[in-house]
Amino acid sequence: MTNKVIYKGLELTTLKGCKYYNVVEGCVCSIVDDPTHSVLTLTYTPGSSSWTLSELLGIPRLGRDQEMEPTYGPVRFQEVTVSLGGMVLRKMTADTHIIHIVIVSDSESRVVQNYEGTTIVVSLEDSKNPDFVEFVFYSGGLVYLKPVGPKPKCWTFANYPRIIIGNKNLVLSSENQEVYSLRRRYDDYVIRATDYLDQFLGEVRRILDGYGLELVRLNKETTLKKTSHVVYNITQTPTRELHPGRDELDSRVISYKLPIDFYLRATDMPMFFDFKSKYINVNLLTNLTEFKTGDRYGKRWTAAVKWGSITEDFNHLYQLDDNSNFSFQCQFRCELHFYEAFDTRYKFLEEIVYNIKSDNHDIVQEEAVPRTRPNA
């Protein structure tokens, strides 16, 4: 019976049926396969590495050079497996091994392997290609994982963002077919300032439409359909409202405020003064003190609105607006108070990108099989 394990990059194999392996520090480098005690013992001298032991003792070596460490006693040869929807893979390393499998839209398919983990990036085109499944798992390219058992039928790739294989067998399945992007992302938020702003402007537009006013952004007055209107202007980006100390708040959530200026331009004097009275008496716009906005996962977040005072009578203007209409004009301001939240569900993509770009990998496979299956 042959037992095998990869320890610090060294492929330790017993041909005499030993059930245990032991790595110890000693005076002389040696490897002894002892069936009497059923222990395969590797002895190394202080300062030895996997490369030096491989050259000295003829042990097959995989990957980069690693410093040797003792096992602190015999360790049983184990066959730890992980089942991914029926695809059973055996972990060959003695230490913990991490698997990443992800379907992407902006990268070629590739397999990156080192002693700590195996990263399989699958292009959208290859994710449904049975020949690519054969290439990845059964071409002999996998070093630290080996397929065992019967070959699954009609197996297709799904996302397994991060699987940690320790010393216990795992049985997993995934129906996650989301297609990710590995390039730099600018929308890794559960909810953003623009989500709140769009919702708020929609609420204000609905209120003003019911009153008979049109809401328009500054410098867009030429698109107006009504002579009486309200112009809004955002003069700055959101500013951070709270500056918490370390560990005081969740670092993923940040409190912001955003000031918005409004300009009322009404050609009708009764409407102009009625708007002012209702604004001051909290009957129009100022009664909108909070609203809810949905995030990317459907959860509702509440934002607060703080309205400022309207300009006094002696500041009211009667002059030409940008459409050459004489109108009564005044201005007012509000502040939005809300939370932005980063989406940590995509944190694993940073680890995958690091694994691909890092020099700390042993094997990279980038050549895929033909996209179409050959004719029988």
> What are the boundaries of each domain within the chain?
3-76, 81-184+348-365, 189-342
Question: Per-residue confidence at 316, pLDDT binned at 50, 70, 90?
Answer: low
Expressed in percent and rounded to 5, the helix, strand and coil fractions of the chain are 20, 35, 45
DSSP type of residue 119? E
Judge whether residue 6 has pLDDT over 60.
yes
Can you tell me the distance from the alpha carbon of 37 to that of 285, in angstroms, rounded to the nearest whole number? 85
Tens-digit pLDDT profile for residues 267-294:
888 999 999 999 999 999 999 999 999 9
Q: List the structure tokens of 293.
A: 């906005």
pTM of this prediction? Answer: 0.70
Which residue's structure tokens are 């492929």? 11
Q: Does the pLDDT at position 67 exceed 60?
A: yes
φ and ψ at 280, to 5 degrees? -70, -35
Query: pLDDT of 92-125, one tens digit each?
Result: 999 999 999 999 998 899 999 999 999 999 999 9
- Strands 214-217, 229-233: pairing is parallel
CATH 3.40.50.720 describes domain 189-342: no
Q: pLDDT of 77-93, one tens digit each?
A: 999 999 999 999 999 99
Which of 78-82, 115-119, 219-223, 336-340 is predicted with the least confidence, judged by mean pLDDT? 219-223
Whole-number percent of the chain with pLDDT over 70:
87
